[in-house]
Structure 1
């Protein structure tokens, strides 16, 4: 694609987080003086939930909007939640490059993209720092009962949160605390560094991690769980890791342990976690992701408010993440236009 007869025709299908204007500016900066025609489209997420659309997962229900936006010879689509289905691809024969502003193109039918000769790229690492920081925040909130004390004081006008200063109800501190990390990728490694700075006894289980790590490498999940007062999840969701922590695994934790998950909801058996919370096997949990999202109104977790910290999948919600995603995506567009190898390409 190094020689062109006209401007690069791009659709910046952003949303209310990765704004289309951020994408357009990043593409313009990347291409410099080169002619570019960017059409901006705003999808509804996160004000409207994502979900399965046709044969793809985690996308905005906007096939018609994508087809309309990609009309008149648009070659490039940069998006976070736009559904790139067989229907969309078949209706847009000029499309040649899709760049997804996420850690994986779960909104793209990769087989169909390959069949239609469309390259698909993604934006790894754009939210690693934000998610790691959020994870540490969840951990501190759960250990010290910060949300519960805040709720008592501000919503109920009660000083009863002072009971958390009694020995029986006071929380744990990170210094010298055995903390087990399951997964040591871009997020897990950052969490490990932060917890080491607090003085925690960090242990890591990740059979795929190579090289030096911050903390003690543990060779089995069972050993990690039996030694950890806190366990935090950072693994990828695969067929092997789905339900990684269930009733048996939670039972291996020291009684009164704390569980944190800001990775993927299905890594953790929520029913087993609720059982463990109710029995006292787990004293507290902090969750940002769930088996089903949005969290159902009848979820057992809602009835355990005194023991849980629940947030609506906000780990990657920082302005820097949106800006990084746009820049990473624009860099792929630049490589494609210049005929260079794509850095993060799956088709």
Structure 2
């Protein structure tokens, strides 16, 4: 009998996790029994943050410590798997983090202790790609601003004026910075709109591109694109990559959309590009600080479309995360290398 701690929340819920683990383990190992302990985390009703040495976690170290004795597997999205927690968990052998990056887990300490850590890559690729395209459309057609005029009782037929009109994606050029699981799906959707799609990604070979997608250097992408959409990872090399110089390279009247990571963009430079009229609009789901300060200037811009880091928030994402977690746990219990393993050096 394997003791598993499910530390779900109001998005990836414990009932979803339990159902998927029973299904996956039962299919792979029908005779294997599972015993669950559960802890319901307060996220998203209570924001995550840094906890001890980990980040983007719910502050529930003490609650974890009360439940960790004898636990072999933890499945969670937001629980802080810190050194303090690991010290109290000598039976722990596997942590499954139901997100793309296990920033709430001290992976280095887990590796030293022989504790495997798995993530669930691609769990929100569909949701994030669809949200990115929604942001693009909402930005180039100024949907929130125009909605506000109707809601205010105005009938702005003057918005038909040429200078007030937005762009069609059909026939426009859209540049995607990053061509991973999300960027590739965005490209396919944009091609269905009959847009020209450019990609800048130093880790992608041109032969791996879908038909109709062109690989170019970042500077060329910026200069040729009517819309630039960011899908890159945040690394020391990509931090601040869309700075004043990059924005100046973009086409006059262009649009920037960021649904990847706030740290990719110099938002002060973006505000200046919008104020000067060099850019016509911007849309983003991610911010330099989350939540942004109430006096942040871009909050007051009527040429900016914003959502609060919700690109991956669909019910299907939650189910997919639970399903991927179930596959990792089933493989581990069967003695196989679990999918999504991020610290293979912990294998012994």
TM-score, normalised via structure 2 length: 0.94
Offset, 1:272: 0.9
| Map of 2:173 onto structure 1 | 178
Q: Contact conserved, 1:183 with 1:205, CA < 8 A, in 2?
A: yes
Q: CA deviation at 1:212?
A: 3.3
Indicate which of 252, 257, 270 corresponds to 1:255. 252
Query: How far off its partner does 1:216 sit?
Result: 4.0
2:346 corresponding residue in structure 1:
none
CA distance in 1: counterparts of 2:163 and 2:216, whole angstroms: 34
The aligned counterpart of 1:317 is: 313
Q: Deviation string for 1:104-157 (max 9, x for gaps)?
A: 111111111112221100000010011000000000001111111112212x22
Once the 2 structures are TM-superposed, how far is the Cα of residue 343 of structure 1 from its aligned partner?
1.7
Aligned residue in 1 for 2:199: 204
User: C-alpha displacement at 1:280, in angstroms?
Assistant: 0.9
Question: 1:188-267 counterparts in 2 under 5 A?
Answer: 188-210=183-205, 211-214=207-210, 215-267=212-264
1:18-37 equivalences under 5 Å are 18-32=12-26, 33=30, 34-37=32-35
SS of equivalent to 2:39: strand
Please state if 1:15 is matched with 2:1. no
Aligned with 2:334 (options 310, 332, 338): 338
Paired positions, count:
337
Query: 78, 82, 85: which one pairs with 2:79?
Result: 82
Q: d(CA) in 2 for partners of 1:153 and 1:99?
A: 47
Verify the 8 A CA contact 2:198 2:216 in the aligned structure 1: no
User: What is the SS of the residue equivalent to 1:9?
Assistant: strand
Higher mean C-alpha displacement, 227-236 vs 55-64: 55-64
Tell me, yes or no, if structure 1 residue 270 matches structure 2 residue 267.
yes
Q: Distance in 2 between matches of 1:87 and 1:328?
A: 27
Secondary structure, counterpart of 1:168 in structure 2: helix
Whether the 8 Å CA contact 1:24–1:40 is kept in 2: the answer is no
Alpha-carbon displacement from aligned partner over 1:258-277 (angstroms, at most 9, x marks no partner):
00011111111111111111
Give the structure 1 partner of residue 303 of structure 2. Answer: 307
After superposition, give the CA deviation of every residue in 1:228-282 in whole Å (9 maximum; x if it has no partner).
1100000111110011100000000111110001111111111111111111111
- Kept in 1, the 8 Å contact 2:98–2:325? The answer is yes
Q: Give the TM-score normalised by structure 1.
A: 0.95
Unaligned runs of 5+ in 2: 344-348
SS of alignment partner, residue 171 of structure 1: coil
CA RMSD of aligned residues (A): 1.1
TM-superposition CA deviations, 1:19-58 (whole Å, max 9, x none): 1110011111112142111122211111111111111111
